[in-house]
Amino acid sequence: MTGADVAAGKALLVSGEDHFARVVLEGILKAKVSLAIATADFKALLVPVKGGGRARSIVSHLRGLAREGVEIRILHSGVPSGPALRELRRELPRRLTIRRCPRLHAKAVVVDCARMYLGSANLTGAGLGAKGAARRNFELGVWTESAALIEGVLETFDGVWEGRHCAKCGRGRVCPVPLEEPALS
């Protein structure tokens, strides 16, 4: 499938280690306006730096994108991993917002409201193919520029983000502070 096929609304299959190149390198790191990320699990996966320098966590890269003006919303279901929380505690830029909903199990990355990954991979090294072959999850997803699919995913994402489901949610005991932001202090 060509780039023209993806632009025409067709979906490109993403599997295994292809997740890292497509979702992280060609997607997240190339965002210019916005990122909407839904993930059940959020870890500080390591991303190589151009020129062969020491790899930096995805949190560091997201922080840099936020400083450049990219509006980033991350919706996840649990507590970020210890390394991710330590990175977030260092600095949480104004344009990087994180919310938690314990019922979230969706995995999607919408880049600039124009390109999207929708699949099974969490925002982790094992999920996005950054681990070695023996430690990588078996993941499948699609990469698309289909406006209709992106609009549908963003409508669902925004519904959870804005708390439209909180009043009728049966998980109130697990989520005493609906859509809580991570405790960074």
Q: Where are the domains of the chain?
A: 11-160
Nearest CA to 65 among 114, 28, 36?
A: 28
110 in Cβ contact with 153 (< 8 Å): yes
Nearest CA to 36 among 155, 175, 180, 184?
A: 155
Torsion of CA 168, 173, 179, 180, to 10 degrees: 160
Summarize pLDDT for 80-98 with one digit per residue, the tens.
888 888 887 787 788 999 8
* Structure confidence at residue 177 (pLDDT): 59
Task: Tell me the whole-structure pTM to 2 decimals.
Answer: 0.87
Using pLDDT thresholds of 50, 70 and 90, give the confidence band for residue 143: very high
Using pLDDT thresholds of 50, 70 and 90, give the confidence band for residue 136: confident
Summarize pLDDT for 117-134 with one digit per residue, the tens.
999 988 887 788 777 778
The pLDDT of 6-11, averaged and rounded, is: 71
Token digits of residue 125: 């090294």
Return the CATH superfamily for domain 11-160: Endonuclease Chain A (3.30.870.10)
